[in-house]
Amino acid sequence: MNKLLAILWVLSLGSATALAQTPPWNEVKGELKIALETKPDVRRGEAAFEECVGCHRKDASGRVSGAYPRLAGQHATVLMKQMADIRSGLRNNPKMKPFIDDDALTPHDLADIAYFLEALPITPNNGKGPGTGIARGKQLYDHDCVSCHGAKGEGNSAKYFPMVAAQQYNYVLREVNFIRNGYRGNSNPDMLAVIKTYSSSDLEAVSDYIASLAPPQK
């Protein structure tokens, strides 16, 4: 083996090792693991959520502007993962991080808040899209999104896939742009692989369709 081949061989081994050590998207560890193993107290969660109502509203319905998502009815596992990812810096959310980074919040608090929010009823009056892209959005969703987020946008609690039905249109559109452009930080690599080739009009269409879905019945 000549010197150049030897160097390339060593470099390839190092790359393979680095890839093998990359943690999976849904790895359960740290604060997320503690929160998932916690017996939640919904009443404590309601009290803790009082600090959040200024942005997310009392009923956790979010804002039509898309600045803040609907949290009511969302899977508790999804909420715990996202809060833990923001606290750890894995998810880039500079607006929320100062609030969720509060030293007074513990993993137990994350569980309490998440289960309180999951139990809230989902209001159907979310911000809708223009309605012009729903047909195209359904095609894209049925082809690329349904296997993870479900036929009705119900998500999958066990796999940390969020419920997307009845989410605020502007929030969905903002987040899918963040994911496609690599800004969000904790994006599921499978989703990134799917939407990285989406055009802006594709993202608008699929967001339009998602926002038009009725809230899942509990």
Q: Give dist(CA 179, CA 22) in Å, integer.
A: 19
Q: Where are the domains of the chain?
A: 26-122, 124-218
**Cβ(70)–Cβ(122) under 8 Å?**
yes
- The CATH number of the structural domain formed by 26-122 is 1.10.760.10
Indicate whether this model's pTM tops 0.85.
yes
Q: Quick check: helix, strand or coil at residue 161?
A: strand
**Cβ(207)–Cβ(173) under 8 Å?**
yes
Q: Tens of pLDDT along the chain (218 residues)? A: 454 444 333 334 443 333 334 467 888 999 999 999 999 999 999 999 999 999 999 999 999 999 999 999 999 999 999 999 999 999 999 999 998 887 878 999 999 999 999 999 998 889 999 999 999 999 999 999 999 999 999 999 999 999 999 999 999 999 999 999 999 999 999 999 999 999 999 999 999 999 999 998 76
Radius of gyration, CA atoms only, the chain: 19
Q: Which two tokens stand for residue 42?
A: 């919904």
Q: For the domain with range 124-218, which CATH number is right: 3.30.70.100, 1.10.3720.10, 3.40.50.2300, 1.10.760.10?
A: 1.10.760.10
